[in-house]
Structure 1
């Protein structure tokens, strides 16, 4: 390697990806996935608002 070749080399150009054609089944599946994600987000928000369910953990008595 010569001194004037130092540094990063440019990566080779990647071929352009073609747009994928989506079927009706794919559209329905994607829509169902989005609905599930939206429901999960709503449930997470509700859970954080109410607070933790079990706050005490293991209860210890004062006796030794």
Structure 2
């Protein structure tokens, strides 16, 4: 047998992605998007709940 003749073939390596330098505008835009997403999540979370202070009449199970 000669080396890896029958073995699993290795995939070709992909070149590494180049990191793009972000300027101040890009950073500010991403920060604004994050804040907007957090606000939307909080709104959706708050909409799912009922009234916060409900001191209504509680009924007991006794007759």
Structures share a fold, TM > 0.5? Answer: yes
Aligned length: 48
Unmatched 5+ residue regions in structure 2? 52-63
In the TM superposition, structure 1's runs of 4+ consecutive aligned residues that sit over 3 Å from their partners are: 4-9
Q: Residue in 2 aligned with 1:22?
A: 22
- Segments of structure 1 that go 5 or more residues without pairing to the other structure are 52-64
Larger radius of gyration: 2
TM-score of the superposed pair, with normalisation by structure 1: 0.60
Alignment root-mean-square deviation, CA? 2.4
